[in-house]
Structure 1
């Protein structure tokens, strides 16, 4: 389980990490596109990673290599909403990015079981840019703080 606080602290396994939260803060009743990080405690996994960029990865998460045809549906009207897809849906998040922010993605199990359309999608922990700028609804952490070794 992870806990994230408004001040940008992420608590995981008795350690504290600096992170970015949604541009509009943390919210109990998150909805798609509101720019908020969902409030609550959530389980993590699986971990997606760019095996073309990261050769050795040691983690207890189930790992999945990110391929060019991997996307995450963020269209509440789609039957594939908040799921990994291998085709471009009407609205989606591309997991195979040119920049390094998605070299490692850990899924935060928010709105995953069951999936409620419109409650938020693609809630990930992923790498941040140098200044931890808040990326919409996603959690971001610096590469040196990521809780795995590679």
Structure 2
């Protein structure tokens, strides 16, 4: 299967850094699947999707003990709100990038999520249309991964 996707505004990089706008090169396992239960039905997926809650956030502060982890808002350190006003995180998949070990400053919140309707670049994530995301998740199994190559 082939799908059109959007990558980071700075392209792809082998050595990802926080805030560089690049999509990290590598093979990233699918972790948790989240969706906006207030906006849609859950996607079909073998790994049970979880509805995002209004207090879900993702820590992006280098040096914080919860860097690159799901946090409960309000949260003192800088974080991203998972229940965004736009629709990019209506379905969002946590990837294994910078997970074990978590290295401070090597990138946080690198997700597989829905694409901007204009098809523009991401801040470093991988994004596809909602239709394609639903097809991909319906065919994925727990051990699937997404591979980003250098060229």
TM-score greater than 0.5 by the shorter chain: yes
Q: CA deviation at 1:113?
A: 1.2
Seen in structure 2, the aligned counterparts of structure 1 residues 20 and 56 have a Cα distance that, compared at 3 Å, is closer
Seen in structure 2, the aligned counterparts of structure 1 residues 148 and 42 have a Cα distance that, compared at 3 Å, is closer
Partner of 1:120: 107
The answer to whether the 8 A contact 2:42-2:49 is kept is: no
Q: 1:138 aligns with which of 109, 122, 125?
A: 125
Of Structure 1 and Structure 2, which has the larger fraction of its residues in helix?
A: 2
Separation in 2 of the partners of 1:32 and 1:57? Answer: 30
Q: Number of aligned pairs?
A: 135
The answer to whether the 8 A contact 1:73-1:89 is kept is: no
Partner of 1:58: 44
Partner of 2:14: 28
Please give the TM-score of this superposition, normalised by the length of structure 2. 0.84
The answer to whether the 8 A contact 1:45-1:62 is kept is: no
Partner of 2:29: 43
Q: 2:4 aligns with which of 11, 18, 23?
A: 18
Q: Deviations over 1:71-128 (max 9, x none)?
A: 0000012111000000224211110112211110001110011111111000101111
